[in-house]
Amino acid sequence: MDPLEWNAPADLLSPLLKRGSDFLGVRYPILCGAMTWVSEPKLVSAVCNNGCFGCIAGGNAPTDILASQIEETRRLTKNNFGVNLITIAPSYKSHLEMLKEARVPYIIFAGSFPRESEVAAAKATGAKVMCFASTISIAERMIRFGADAIILEGSEAGGHIGHVSSMILIQQLLFKYAAEVPIFVAGGVATGKMMAHLLMMGAAGVQLGTRFVMTEECSVHPKFKEVFLKVNARDAIATPQYDSKLPVVAVRALKNKGMQAFGALQLRLLRELEAGTIHRQQAQEEVEKFWVGALRRAAVDGDVDGGSLMAGQSVGLMDKIMPISDLVCELLTDANNELLSVKNKLG
């Protein structure tokens, strides 16, 4: 079925989708999270062409490469998409400067939180700004800085994460600020049923990452997807911070030799910090370089033992690979059926 032609005999879903759809300028406020080495123009445009919202992952890409990916995505889709910038990436400032000319419709800040001047600079390009929030204090700061929307991301998510679960953030953040600013929920979202309940609770939409990896249009190495089919939710673990001298953003990925190598890297960098042979900023950049390289080895080269298998805990729900069109129709149909079920329960 074509998602753009989706309809239900008793459509309870569309009214709940309207706010997020209007904000994003898309048919369905379902975001495909930006994933380094994964969210490239082919996947992003396929998401957009199926009525949803795709995000290009800026990551640590050279600025000229990111600019070319933006242009390629524009050639592949006429629909809205976003560009995700990692605030702790070495190329971050260069990426932000480039977007003054690229003029994309949506800029999404991730990794950490941007300065107020950076939010203002992004909005000055004409883009709507979306900011991730992994705590209530970060969300309040981003709203104060002028963010047009918030992506509430719980610790269940994959890649760079915070330490608070979606269940708590929903009660702290969504219930408090949903009327004030559009809030999209990420972290652990994988089914239409869950989407229905989040929309009923006030979410403007949802973001999925791991689920979009398991689509035919996603170009990651086949071995990457094969691992996702075999593992359980508990296999997606978060990296620890060994010492506050080296503050690192936690990363959730599947446990393998790559995760063990990251532990060894942290210990080495801490020894170098103690000896004064490296500055903290250099150490943090070494951490980011590690993750970018490790993720490439897994997602692109297929090294699922030594590379980084970034995945959210929703990986435990992955049981098939399917076209994006089928995924979107499944999410919509299951969400609407859940709303009908709730209506019937309420009499």
DSSP for 94-143, written as a single string: HHHHHHHHH--SEEEEESS---HHHHHHHHHTT-EEEEEESSHHHHHHHH
- Cβ-in-10-Å burial (0-12, 13-18, 19+) of 94 comes to middle
pTM: 0.94
Nearest to 19 by CA among 183, 154, 150, 136: 183
Nearest to 28 by CA among 196, 197, 156: 196
Beta bridge partner(s), residue 152: 133, 185
Residue 263 is predicted with a pLDDT of 87
The secondary structure element, H or E, covering residue 185 is: strand 183-186
Q: List, in order, residues 6 or more apart from 13 with CB less than 8 Å away.
A: 196, 199, 332, 335, 336, 339
Topology, domain 3-220+319-340: TIM Barrel (3.20.20)
Residues 53, 105: Cα–Cα separation, whole Å: 12
Q: How far is residue 85 from each of residues 60, 245, 270, 290, measured CA to CA in Å?
A: 9, 25, 27, 18
Residue 152's identity, in one-letter code, is L
Residue 77 is predicted with a pLDDT of 98
Domain spans in the chain, listed from the N-terminal domain onward = 3-220+319-340, 222-299
Spell out, as residue ranges, where the chain has pLDDT lower than 70.
none
Residue 89 is predicted with a pLDDT of 82
